[in-house]
Each structure stands twice: as structure tokens, then as C-alpha cells.
Amino acid sequence: MNNLINDTKFLTLGGGCFWCTEAIFQEVNGVVNVTSGYSGGTTDDCPSYQTICKGMTGHAEVIQIEYEPEIVSLEELLIIFMTTHNPTSLNQQGADKGTQYRSIIFYETQREKVIIDTVIKELQPYFEKAIVTEIKPFNRFFKAEDRHQQYYQLNKQFGYCTAIIEPKLVKFRKQYAEKLKKSASTTL
């Protein structure tokens, strides 16, 4: 994978609707870029949002995070991810149901897989149910259509943003105030 900035790394994960996860990770200090997209399925051609929603491609709605590991570690990103969605819900986040909304983390190296497995094992006691997050080797990422990029930033007035994303952001900002970019921490 080509890094846009020297010494950045990538993490691809899905925790339900990519609009929610994108909005959260855009506020994390050390995150350079967040791109909404699709991954984990069986198609070789770039899928569309419509084909993803039908659940026929096997892809999940995901985000690809470009981050600076000297500012925010993989472990920290994983903890934020696991605590800002429900990793115990199989193929569903809130009202969104289907395999496209599954909890999933992709790893690029065995070292990353070990870190992911360790974080999940350490967090499991804090959940009443078993964590069902799928762990898969990274294969391919398809960027979602432009209308899905920076969705919350561009559509804050829409019902989904005010009813679903905003409450998640408020909770996230309180829980992770020390991890926020300065621009995000001023919106508290």
C-alpha cells in the first residue's frame, strides 16, 4: 500500500454503517485520513452501494484509516473501534442488519493479527456476550462513492446524522477526550 505521508500505516475495519465509524476516526489525533469503502467480499469489480446493501457481494461497509503510529498506536485505534460499536452483535449494528454491517478487522501482517487477537482477548471480559468481530487478512479495498466520503461533515443537518451519528460522537468525545484532535476537542 502506498503511504501518502512518510511513516503512516493503514487499518481497514468495519463496525456497521461506515458513516458512523468514519465520523469517529476523523476526530482521532494521529489519524491522517479516513476513507469509506467496501472490503471482505468475493467480487473483483468495484461494487456499488446498491449491490452492497443487497448483501450479494460479501463485502462489508468499512473504513480505511491512514494513521501515524508514532502519535496513535494500532492498539489504541483497535480499543476505540471495539468500544464505539457493538462487537458482540452478529451482522447488525442498531437498525442496520445484514452481513454488510458486520464487525470486521483486516490485518496486513502476522504482527498486526497478533495485536488484534490480543486486544480482543483483553477486552472480552468487559462485554457480557462473546465478541464476534471477524478477523481476516486484508485483500482489497474499494473506495465508496464520493457521496459517502465525509458524510457526517457534509450532512450534519440530516436526520441520520442528528439521531444516530451525533449521539455516538458525543459519547466518544467524552470517553476519549485525550485522544481527540485539537479541532475536535473544541466542539465539546
Q: Which of 119, 103, 123 is nearest to 111 (CA)?
A: 119
Nearest-angstrom CA–CA distance, 184 and 179: 10
Q: Which of 159, 187, 87, 186 is nearest to 128 (CA)?
A: 87
Cell of 17: 454503517
Pairing of strands 103-107, 134-137: parallel
The residues, ordered by sequence, that sit 6+ positions from 114 with a Cβ below 8 Å of its Cβ are: none
Q: Is 28 in contact with 84 (CB distance < 8 Å)? A: no
Q: Which of 97, 102, 125 is nearest to 21 (CA)?
A: 102
Nearest-angstrom CA–CA distance, 81 and 169: 13
20 carries an active-site annotation: no
**Phi, psi values for residue 63, rounded to 5°:** -125, 150
Pairing of strands 60-67, 9-15: antiparallel
Which are the catalytic amino acids?
A: 17
